[in-house]
Structure 1
Amino acid sequence: MFAPADPPRFGQFDGKPLIEALPEVLASDGYWSVAAATALTLVARGRIVPGVTAAGHDTWRVGPLDHADELHLRQLAAHDDYDRLRAFLDAVADTLPRTGTGPFAGTEACDVSALKAWADEQITISLRIETTDDLRFRGIVQVRAVTDPYPRDVRGSGRELDAIRAISRVDWPPLQRLLDSAELADGEVSELLATDIEVHWPRELTTGLSAKAVIGEPSGTFQASDLLAFDWRLALGGQELTQAEMDLVAEASRPVVKLRDQWVLVDPALKKKARQKLKPLTAAQAVTAALTGVAIIDGERAEVAPHGLTAAITTVPEFPQPAALQARLRDYQLHGLRWLAHMTSLGLGACLADDMGLGKTITLIALHLHRADPRPTLVVCPASLLGNWEREIRRFAPGTPVTRYHGPQRTLPSDGVVLTTYGTMRLDAEALRGHDWGMVVADEAQHVKNPHSGTAKALRSIPSGARVALSGTPVENSLSELWAVLDWTTPGLLGTHRAFRTRWPEPDDTLAKVVRPFLLRRRKTDPGVAPELPAKTETDRYVSLSVEQAALYEALTREILDQIAHSDGIARRGLVLKLLTGLKQICNHPSHYLGHDTLQGTSGKLDLLDELLDTIVAEDGSALIFTQYVGMARLLERHIEQPTRFLHGGTPVPQREQMVDDFQNGRAPVFLLSLKAAGTGLNLTRADHVIHFDRWWNPAVEDQATDRAYRIGQTRPVQVHKLVTEGTVEERIAALLQSKRDLADAVLHGGEAAFTELTDAELAELVQLRSAQ
């Protein structure tokens, strides 16, 4: 016979410790043998949970049990006593896992009374509701331990004290009273429906009443200028209520109402929704709600019923390319044209975010021809792209008037395509606002990623029937930049910036559902996209610091880290940026950091560059060299022996075009470019080598620079060389770049943590000089 103990593992069977008696029990015939086998099976299935005994000892118990387990135990206990059977099972469960030392592992009794509060939290309270003949309510408090298969009525369960402790953790005062008196007033039932307490309602009451927000139908074909109705609609078991039934719910004086020959529980929140009138939605708000199936109403997320808007936006009609286009669009370009035409025909904007070189320019030229709007199209782009846009339009749409609105004596025409720069647009915003535009296109739209900049504000102030953003990197660093681009193309789609950040602090499926119809992104590596594009290979080339570089690096690190340790706020952030900039300059060359006019001495990067250029030019190749520092580029221009062209932010447009022509026609095999000035818009397909002399903090910008050579029209494989100094901050940042590049690939992910916000210890870890591995 089994004699229980505290803790359970100290129990005895026929006067022997359980651990010694268990083999004999299993070998015997009869009730206790089956009980022991059952215990072993439960333990083997992992059906054991830790707990604290009444005396405060550590213990393991069997549980949680499912319905089949409980049925088996009840049938087995019919031959003895259920409580004694559970005590035996718990004793076996408390004995077998103990193979070590200490609480829950050793066999000795351990005092874990400090865990009693945690153990109490494993006890949950629920209510079983009964109704009288006149539909009055009675509530019976139930208690359930983690080891129980189902709740038990508190009365007679032996767990009254557990229940009282559990009730003290629940913020609903009537629970305490219900231990003695079961009657519930209607008001208490309404309160109960608004709590998180688990309630078991009687079968004669239906709890299937639900609510969804419903978007009204547009008066005709959907347009962005529409204002759509928005209302709550209640449903019972998935079937919508009639307006008369909605009125019954709204006017109900009790927490139950009879609908369709059944009594239905009415949550106070649902009753409020039956009465509530919602404000109409703008078209952009309706689109967001329809695409996500969710709306924010009074600060809370609400389910939105499916609406035809989703199909209206995502179903793109087919049509042939414009007859006036003097080129044959590839399949993916034709799809892009159809998508842009569909979105702009609805009065909605769009962002075409294809990889650089996939033909965004020709797609927009085709869109202008297809729309056949008598009003002109305004294209805003960086100065370096004006010539390319003009040449492409004259080539592919020779009958289309094209005007450069740039430089002195500029005038605005009344038709065709007007090209201007972001700088000119900002200066002439008033004149551009007063013109009637059929479409406004923002090329390299990352120029307006800061919505508070003068450039972005000027662009937003220009009215138009359609807005299209073009960018190879619509999300360079953060979701806020995605918001800035799409809020220009389709104002209100993502709400205000504050509302956007509140609703989507991190990307989720609902954000993807909103963005996907408005953002089209194809990659060069996508199957069937630009198959003639040659392969691109990228190689990180690690070099060592010279003795002079290492000495400068360590000296600067010690000096600035010491200053950082004694500063804070803006001053500290400035010192961090000063340190990072200085270290990168030292990694490039000592003369870069020291401000020399010419290169004096050498560096690992310079030695490797000389070797690469000698080999490349000897093989009749061409190279692009990118650096983010104009000062370093000037030093390299004076050093490189091969014919070289140097393009930077201050290079006039005519001179830029001549430089491109010199490189493309082989008159200069080396093209030196400052990263930010030349990272966008140039077509340099003669290059079969790209050298990143230093690494940019932003991989999206770096990828754009590489794409100057790696684009349609390239006939040779492109080799990308990324120069990295071993053991320095550059090596650590090289590892960070890959994680940040994953953001741009996913389109909708958060940016990297600002280096200026690193702790002193984290910063030291990032910048300290290490031995090359």
Structure 2
Amino acid sequence: MVVDPSVVAKLGRRDKLSATDTLAAALGGTVTIEDEPVEITVGGAAAEFADRLRSASRPHELPEPAGLIATLRPYQRRGVAWLSEMVKIGLGGVLADDMGLGKTIQLIALHLHRLEQATGPTLVVCPASLVGNWQREVAKFAPSLKVHRYHGPQRSLKDVGRSDIVLTTYGILRRDCDQLAQQHWGILVADEAQQVKNPYSSTAKALRRIPADARIAMTGTPVENRMTELWALLDWTTPGLLGSLETFRRTIAIPVERDRDELTTERFARLLSPFLLRRRKEDPEIAPELPPKTETDHPVTLSSEQAGLYRAVVEEILESIERAEGMARRGLVLKLLTALKQICNHPAQYLRQPGPLLGRSGKLELFEELVSAITDAGDSTLVFTQYVVMGQLLMTRLAEMGIPAQFLQGSLSLRARSEMVDKFQAGEFPVFIVSLKAGGIGLNLTRATHVVHYDRWWNPAVENQASDRAWRIGQDRPVQIHRLISDGTIEDRIATVLSQKQALAEAVVSGGEAWLTELSTAELGDLVRLGGEDS
């Protein structure tokens, strides 16, 4: 290692670097001393190892393994080659392909490639809603493999063999961490790994306790909100690579996110590239593989009942907000936002009424027209709402219209969810209503050619994940995304913010709705009042 003499004095007690620091220096060309990046040159074994890592991330392909009943696309073969090399090295990595590009089949192919060298079974930890999907995918693409569902009251690891795949959930991981940690795993996979973006959560702590030769994080959104989420993923797959969280914040996250420091961004990209593989649907090598996607915003007019409720709630709660402070004020702002979104959906949702439903909501009227036209054309529709109550009201209205539908929500058992997905994919019912939190990630719902967002989720990454349940590899027809937006309301203004004002859109993404709680009462009033009304 060669260091410029002018910075030797800064070394102080850092006359030795850890192996991880040395590797990071070899990849990024810098080492952080007293919170300052110092350019260095690394030679010897560390430089050779860094070269091996770089070569692993360069485009090359592995052929389909024996036992895989599928033909991988070229970018998937490259993904399997990268995963195989990272596992061989023992470092793991983050497979961050866009939602719908086939991350699951790449992991199945990796497992098949590793059968002869496997030192233990593969453990896949995923959200409860995805256990059935993993089981179906393995049965479809690798029927020779033995799959164990470590879930339910009779769960056990006693019959697990070295070449098997074990599926479990994040909830079971937290409860059974001691039992799972007694088994040595060849590969540990965290699917939808953004679930553990908080490194201090009980789930993240449990995941770190499971011993494995290599760890792989799978996520379509490596950074949903802040760069520290990326630190959490990489500190699990490759502990120590990015230093401590506090050091990462000071030396990388703040310069990149806040200061837009190009040099720091470039250095971080060099360090990161061998450990994270991300392909986008827009990439030239992938775009031809997918059918076109059309996105449409549908403005709807509030009914007179909705408009009256909307004005009354704005006036009442804004007056209370004006007098409140601190946490009480923030709570009132969030109460206002929730109330207004529910009124925009349907007065019956806000008033907690079972009905009547007809003639009271402009949004519901447009929804009826849209779904009727889609169903009459013989197509299938996914409908996302963030509210269970609204999902139930939509089910009621569709039943009145004679349109078969089912509702996937968080309270359903894994078996019920799995059966519902299978029936929808088989065309047994045309409209599938899905609670955004219960089914917005991981599911393959390519039967649908239309996706309706009945209400807006003000984090674009979450909305995109939901839309990509239908627009993904395996879809061979064009997909249309429909967003229903109440004209002149907060829904309308937030939609404008997200599409036109990127800087503020980032604030929305980074804090969900929290940024709204910090607005002045006047600013909040401008945002929530009905269009054309003065304060």
TM-score, length of structure 1 as denominator length: 0.62
Distance 1:691 1:340 in 2: 35
For the 8 Å contact 1:689–1:718, the answer to whether it is kept is yes
The aligned counterpart of 2:171 is 423
Residues 464 and 585 of structure 1: CA distance in aligned 2, closer, same or farther (over 3 Å): same
Alignment of 1:343-742 (within 5 A): 343-372=86-115, 373-412=118-157, 413-415=160-162, 416-504=164-252, 505-507=254-256, 508-529=265-286, 531-600=288-357, 601-640=359-398, 641=401, 642-738=403-499
Distance 1:530 1:690 in 2: 20
Residues 677 and 599 of structure 1: CA distance in aligned 2, closer, same or farther (over 3 Å): farther
Structure 2 portions without partners, runs of 5+: 257-264
For the 8 Å contact 1:232–1:278, the answer to whether it is kept is no
Report which stretch shifted further, 489-498 or 359-368.
489-498
1:645, CA displacement in angstroms? 0.6
Aligned-partner SS, 1:465: strand
For the 8 Å contact 1:542–1:724, the answer to whether it is kept is yes
1:271, CA displacement in angstroms? 7.0
1:612, CA displacement in angstroms? 0.7
Residues 596 and 374 of structure 1: CA distance in aligned 2, closer, same or farther (over 3 Å): same
Distance 1:434 1:741 in 2: 48
Residues 318 and 634 of structure 1: CA distance in aligned 2, closer, same or farther (over 3 Å): closer
1:760, CA displacement in angstroms? 2.3
Distance 1:742 1:440 in 2: 37
Render the CA deviation track for 1:689-712: whole Å, top value 9, x for unaligned.
111000102111111111111112
TM-score, length of structure 2 as denominator length: 0.89
Distance 1:342 1:271 in 2: 36
The aligned counterpart of 2:259 is none
For the 8 Å contact 1:355–1:521, the answer to whether it is kept is yes
The aligned counterpart of 2:529 is 768
Distance 1:436 1:297 in 2: 37
1:736, CA displacement in angstroms? 3.1
The aligned counterpart of 1:217 is none
Distance 2:342 2:498 in 1: 19
For the 8 Å contact 1:743–1:750, the answer to whether it is kept is no
Aligned-residue CA RMSD in angstroms? Answer: 2.3
Render the CA deviation track for 1:729-765: whole Å, top value 9, x for unaligned.
1112112334798999x9xx96677222222232222
Distance 1:598 1:564 in 2: 31
Alignment of 1:252-263 (within 5 A): none
Distance 1:681 1:612 in 2: 26
Residues 318 and 609 of structure 1: CA distance in aligned 2, closer, same or farther (over 3 Å): closer
Residues 761 and 376 of structure 1: CA distance in aligned 2, closer, same or farther (over 3 Å): same
Report which stretch shifted further, 380-389 or 331-340.
380-389
Distance 2:284 2:497 in 1: 28
The aligned counterpart of 2:262 is none
The aligned counterpart of 1:128 is none
What letter is aligned with 2:125? Answer: V
What letter is aligned with 1:622? Answer: S
Q: 1:322 aligns with which of 27, 51, 65?
A: 65
What letter is aligned with 1:326? Answer: I
Q: 1:311 aligns with which of 39, 42, 51?
A: 51
Residues 599 and 460 of structure 1: CA distance in aligned 2, closer, same or farther (over 3 Å): farther
The aligned counterpart of 2:260 is none
Matched, 1:340 2:340: no
Matched, 1:282 2:18: yes
For the 8 Å contact 1:598–1:638, the answer to whether it is kept is no
1 or 2, which has the higher helix percentage?
Answer: 2
For the 8 Å contact 2:35–2:247, the answer to whether it is kept is no
1:631, CA displacement in angstroms? 0.9
Distance 1:677 1:719 in 2: 22
Higher RCO structure (Cα 8 Å, ≥6 apart): 2
Q: Which has the larger radius of gyration?
A: 1
Render the CA deviation track for 1:560-588: whole Å, top value 9, x for unaligned.
12222222222111111111111111111
Aligned-partner SS, 2:24: helix
The aligned counterpart of 2:9 is 272
What letter is aligned with 2:529? Answer: Q
For the 8 Å contact 2:7–2:38, the answer to whether it is kept is no
Aligned-partner SS, 1:754: helix
1:282, CA displacement in angstroms? 3.1
Residues 461 and 633 of structure 1: CA distance in aligned 2, closer, same or farther (over 3 Å): same
For the 8 Å contact 2:280–2:286, the answer to whether it is kept is yes
Distance 1:647 1:270 in 2: 60
For the 8 Å contact 2:189–2:216, the answer to whether it is kept is yes
1:277, CA displacement in angstroms? 6.2
Alignment of 1:11-160 (within 5 A): none
Residues 742 and 712 of structure 1: CA distance in aligned 2, closer, same or farther (over 3 Å): farther
Distance 1:315 1:742 in 2: 36
Counting aligned pairs with the same residue, the percent is: 55
The aligned counterpart of 2:38 is 302
Aligned-partner SS, 2:474: coil
1:332, CA displacement in angstroms? 0.2
Distance 1:282 1:599 in 2: 68
1:607, CA displacement in angstroms? 0.6
Distance 1:271 1:407 in 2: 59
Report which stretch shifted further, 312-321 or 466-475.
312-321
What letter is aligned with 1:349? Answer: G
Render the CA deviation track for 1:161-181: whole Å, top value 9, x for unaligned.
xxxxxxxxxxxxxxxxxxxxx
Residues 738 and 284 of structure 1: CA distance in aligned 2, closer, same or farther (over 3 Å): farther
1:325, CA displacement in angstroms? 2.2
Distance 2:173 2:148 in 1: 14
